[in-house]
């Protein structure tokens, strides 16, 4: 297959993964290895693993083997009770320039998205999320992006794309296909307050680590609203991820819960795990954690319910909440999953353009507050973007 030109084959024997028994997840994975060449039928998959070693975006010239470190843990985990089709495309080849690395990953992700396959990126610095975004740009899809990160990477646009300014490049790209960006888990001592104010003035959603840990379930509708999820492993505390640069952050089980939410979301179509430095992972707990988070993403995927209200409103309860001045907000509750959405008014001429955005995931608590005439901020932000 043509995508093979972008990848180096995996040596499973060298990684000690060639003799795993049938109870391991490895039995669910079709692998691009030295003894097997991928072909077109192998793209008939649910999820495709892509190994990325590119770290020039964070100033590191050496190519990382982080993806292989994760594979050594992931392949040994136990299989699922349901069938899932996973293809491991291997590790992307090193390119001459960073921009060529973006272009290659963009092409791979674009082809996978067009084939209905979820790209799952392992490794690389977090600016590689730019390549995933560009894949949606290539297919002309307006998206929502969620980032889980201890910092907000929004430094000067005057420099080329890097790990600490890639969001600025995404936000300012033209034409822009980013409808909304949600940032989960920033740590206040790493982020200048005016930067948070800037994000909010742009009608983006930003949430501190503490408020998300206090009610982790509140991350579910945020992640359910995403088309793509970018996880910077520095968002996890050093006790759970030895190569993290902070003693604070999400616990490992909290990360796994959020990736489980991502897997269950019918809307989410790509995910990446970035910022993992295998050279600093002295006890391999970082690799184990990413492997567990990937496992939970796949587990969540198996429980998708084809549950998105714009498809068939007959499968949803409809609640109309009257507000002051004769305004109202319509809420939908799924009969399948009991999850909630709130509808943002959208003109008929914009309905097709914002088909995936005028129904905003929410919680029962949002509905309850609306009955007390408290309008959710995310509803207001979506309303202002759709009805500019």
Tokens of 351: 């309905």
> Binning pLDDT at 50, 70 and 90, where does residue 209 land?
very high
- Give the C-alpha separation, 112 to 385, whole Å: 29
Of 363, 358, 351, the C-alpha closest to 379 is 358
Of 63, 56, 200, the C-alpha closest to 125 is 56
- Give the C-alpha separation, 29 to 152, whole Å: 35
Tokens of 311: 């498809």
Mean pLDDT value across residues 222-237: 98
Task: Match 């089709």 to its residue by tokens.
Answer: 85
Kindly report the backbone phi and psi dihedral angles of residue 183, in degrees, each rounded to the nearest multiple of 5, phi listed first.
-110, 125
- Give the C-alpha separation, 187 to 232, whole Å: 13
335-355 burial string, b = 16+ CB within 10 Å, else e?
eeeebbbbbbebeeeeeeebe
Q: Comparing 301-305, 324-328, 372-376, which segment has the lowest mean pLDDT?
A: 324-328
pLDDT in tens, 48-105: 999 999 999 999 989 999 999 999 999 999 999 999 999 999 999 999 999 999 999 9
Mean pLDDT value across residues 326-334: 91
Query: Chain-wide mean pLDDT for the chain?
Result: 93
With contact defined as beta carbons under 8 Å apart, do 134 and 106 qualify?
A: yes
State the pLDDT at residue 113.
Answer: 96
List, in order of start, the domains of the chain with CATH numbers: 2-301 (3.40.800.10), 313-386 (no CATH)
Q: Decide which of 18 and 156 is more confident.
A: 18
* C-alpha R_g of the chain: 21
- Decide if pLDDT at 342 tops 60: yes
Mean pLDDT value across residues 113-132: 96
- Decide if pLDDT at 44 tops 90: no
Q: Decide which of 314 and 378 is more confident.
A: 378
State the pLDDT at residue 18.
Answer: 86
- Decide if pLDDT at 1 tops 60: no
> Binning pLDDT at 50, 70 and 90, where does residue 190 land?
very high
The pTM of this model reads: 0.95
Mean pLDDT value across residues 313-334: 90
With contact defined as beta carbons under 8 Å apart, do 91 and 14 qualify?
A: no
* Residue 322 CB neighbour total at 10 angstroms: 12
Residues shown for the chain: 388
State the pLDDT at residue 4.
Answer: 83
> Which 3-state string (H, E, C) describes the chain?
CHHHHHEECECCCCCCCCCCCCCEHHHHEEECECCCCCCHHHHCCCEEEEECCCCHHHCCCCCCCHHHHHHHHHCCCECCCCCCCEEEEEEECCCCCHHHHHHHHHHHHHHHHHCCCEEEEECCCHHHHHHHHHHHHHHCCCEEEEEECCCCCCCCCCCCCCCCCHHHHHHHCCCCCEEEEEEEEECHHHCCHHHHHHHHHCCCEEEEHHHHHHCHHHHHHHHHCCCEEEEEHHHECCCCCCCCCCCCCECHHHHHHHHHHHHHCCCCCEEEEECCCHHHCCCCHHHHHHHHHHHHHHHHHCCCCCCCCCCCHHHEEEEEEECHHHCEEEEEEECCCCCEEEECCCCHHHHCCCCCCCEEEECHHHHHHHHCCCCCHHHHHHHHHHCC
Question: Is residue 327 exposed (0-12), middle (13-18) or buried (19+ Cβ within 10 Å)?
Answer: exposed
Kindly report the backbone phi and psi dihedral angles of residue 325, in degrees, each rounded to the nearest multiple of 5, phi listed first.
60, 30
- Give the C-alpha separation, 285 to 281, whole Å: 7
Mean pLDDT value across residues 321-347: 91
- Decide if pLDDT at 35 tops 80: no
């Amino acid at each position: 297959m043509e995508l093979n030109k972008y990848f180096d084959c995996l040596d499973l024997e060298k990684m000690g993964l060639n003799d795993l028994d049938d109870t391991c997840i490895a039995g669910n994975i079709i692998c691009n290895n030295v003894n097997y060449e991928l072909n077109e039928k192998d793209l008939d998959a649910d999820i495709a693993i892509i190994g990325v070693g590119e770290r020039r975006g964070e100033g590191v010239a050496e190519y990382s083997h982080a993806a292989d470190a994760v594979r050594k843990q992931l392949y040994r985990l136990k299989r699922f009770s349901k069938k899932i089709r996973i293809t491991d495309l291997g590790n992307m080849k090193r390119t001459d320039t960073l921009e060529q690395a973006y272009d290659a990953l963009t092409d791979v992700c674009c082809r996978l998205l067009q084939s209905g396959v979820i790209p799952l990126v392992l490794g690389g610095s977090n600016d590689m999320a730019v390549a995933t975004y560009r894949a949606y740009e290539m297919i002309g899809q307006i998206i929502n992006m969620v980032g889980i990160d201890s910092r907000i990477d929004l430094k000067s646009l005057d420099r080329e794309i890097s790990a600490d300014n890639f969001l600025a490049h995404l936000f300012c790209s033209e034409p822009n296909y980013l409808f909304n960006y949600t940032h989960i888990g920033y740590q206040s001592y790493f982020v200048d307050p005016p930067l948070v104010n800037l994000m909010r003035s742009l009608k983006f959603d930003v949430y501190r680590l503490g408020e998300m840990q206090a009610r982790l379930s509140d991350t579910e509708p945020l992640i359910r609203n995403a088309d793509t999820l970018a996880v910077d492993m520095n968002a996890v505390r050093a006790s759970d991820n030895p190569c993290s640069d902070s003693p604070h952050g999400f616990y490992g089980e909290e990360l796994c819960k959020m990736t489980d939410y991502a897997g269950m979301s019918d809307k989410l179509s790509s995910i990446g795990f970035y910022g993992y430095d295998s050279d600093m992972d002295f006890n391999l707990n970082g690799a184990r954690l990413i492997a567990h988070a990937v496992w939970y993403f796949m587990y969540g995927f198996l429980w998708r319910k084809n549950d998105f209200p714009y498809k068939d409103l007959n499968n949803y309860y409809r609640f109309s909440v009257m507000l002051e001045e004769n305004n109202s907000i319509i809420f939908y509750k799924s009969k399948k999953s009991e999850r909630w959405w709130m509808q943002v008014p959208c003109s008929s001429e914009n309905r097709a353009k914002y088909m995936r955005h005028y129904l905003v995931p929410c919680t029962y608590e949002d509905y309850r507050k609306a009955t007390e005439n408290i309008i959710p901020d995310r509803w207001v932000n979506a309303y202002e973007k759709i009805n500019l």
